[in-house]
Copies of this chain bind each other. A is one copy, B any other.
Amino acid sequence: MSRAMRHPLDPMLGFHLVRTANLALRAVNAAYGDLGIRHPDGAVLLVIDANPGITQSSIGRLLNIQRSNIAPMVSRLVDRGWLERRPGKGKTIGMFLTESGQRIMPAIHAASTAGENMITTSIGADAYAATLETLKRLR
Contact B136 A49 (CB under 8 A): no
- The residue on B at minimum CB distance from A94 is B1
Contact A20 B135 (CB under 8 A): yes
Tell whether A25 is near chain B: CB-to-CB under 8 Å: yes
Contact B17 A17 (CB under 8 A): yes
Select one of B9, B24, B51, B139 contacting A6, CB under 8 A: B51
Tell whether A69 is near chain B: CB-to-CB under 8 Å: no
Q: Mark A1-36, 1 if CB is under 8 A from B, else 0.
A: 100011111111111111111111100100000000
Q: Which residues of A contact B (CB under 8 A)?
A: 1, 5-25, 28, 43, 46-47, 49-51, 53-55, 58, 62-64, 92, 112-113, 115-116, 119, 122-123, 127-128, 130-132, 134-139
